[in-house]
Amino acid sequence: MRSGSVVEAALRWQQRLSEGGFWAMVTVTVDGRSVKVREQAYVLEACRLAGADVPTLCHHEAVEPYGACRLCMVEVTRPEWGGHTRMVASCLYPVEDGLIVHTATEKVLDVRRVVIDLLLARCPNTPLVRQMARKLGVEETSYEKAAEPTDCILCGLCTRVCDAIGPAAISAVNRGIGREIAPPFKEPPPACIGCLACAEICPTGHIKYQTSDTSRTIWGKTFEMLRCSRCGRAYVTREQAAFFERTRGIPASYMGLCDSCKRKVLADTAAQLCVTR
């Protein structure tokens, strides 16, 4: 079964319900406030529920947690640990009943300041990074500014969302300092469908594209746009329509109308039905 199919999602729900696990809740204490959170959640979700301000750069609900930016570090402990605490990435640490979370200890803030300080050296001109740094009390980086500043923080959201949708057209290449996000061989990626999900999810707007009613260009690849048969506006790329037909079984005819026109047609149909009744 293809991941992401509606049937599989339904089966997953059914299984979770039959295990009785889906609604099972655990209690976690965040900064002294006790919250109930679903058992499958990670600590970050509990922190957000409790209203704690935990900054993140590589986290997004739409994709699997990654743990790369290290801004969401918190200190966790349990009464039986005898005062011992652990520094963990809250986006990846599974919640457990009775867990005690501290989101703003001096240790936590120290790590966040070092991390944002380092990112500020890498991305000295990026508004989002500057703003987060200022919030953590870092006005200027204490390290050497990058010779070639970039807006890419290597959060991996673009590659993860591309993997989740399916094309997996881009990935992180090279190691360490040389790491960057790129299509294979840095050529226009054959697998890219031009859906723009990578650019939309990018927190710093680093991924650039052009789109018009006739064509779209991203990652050096140019796509032909399919137009809505009703209003004529560009709706999806030809590759996108073909991809969803191939992988999700969505008929090409479904892509004939844009979302807005689909709603209008639906409304018209409903209106006619009401009249005839």
Cα 55 from Cα 74, distance rounded (Å): 11
DSSP state of 94: B
Cα 8 from Cα 27, distance rounded (Å): 30
Does 93 sit near other proteins (CB under 8 A)? yes
Does 15 sit near other proteins (CB under 8 A)? no
Between 75 and 239, name the residue whose CB sits nearer to other proteins.
75
Cα 117 from Cα 130, distance rounded (Å): 9
Candidates 14, 142, 214, 229: give the one binding other proteins (CB under 8 A): 142
Amino acid at 125: N
Does 130 sit near other proteins (CB under 8 A)? no
DSSP state of 63: S
Q: Which stretch binds other proteins (CB under 8 A): 116-124, 186-194, 199-207, 268-276?
A: 116-124
User: What's the burial of 100, exposed, middle or buried (CB within 10 Å: 0-12/13-18/19+)?
Assistant: middle
Cα 242 from Cα 252, distance rounded (Å): 7
Candidates 18, 131, 174, 276: give the one binding other proteins (CB under 8 A): 174
List the interface residues with other proteins, window 180-239 (CB under 8 A): none
Between 87 and 252, name the residue whose CB sits nearer to other proteins.
87
Cα 50 from Cα 31, distance rounded (Å): 8
Question: Cβ(100)–Cβ(88) under 8 Å?
Answer: no
Does 92 sit near other proteins (CB under 8 A)? yes
Pseudo-torsion of CA 219, 152, 174, 196, nearest 10°?
-30
Does 38 sit near other proteins (CB under 8 A)? no
Does 41 sit near other proteins (CB under 8 A)? no
Does 175 sit near other proteins (CB under 8 A)? yes
Does 118 sit near other proteins (CB under 8 A)? yes
Does 136 sit near other proteins (CB under 8 A)? no
Question: Cβ(152)–Cβ(204) under 8 Å?
Answer: yes
Minimum gap (Å) between residue 193 Cβ and other proteins: 22
Does 70 sit near other proteins (CB under 8 A)? yes
**For binding to other proteins (CB under 8 A), which residues are involved?**
67-70, 73, 87-89, 92-94, 107, 110-111, 113-115, 118-119, 121-122, 142-144, 153-154, 156, 171-172, 174-179
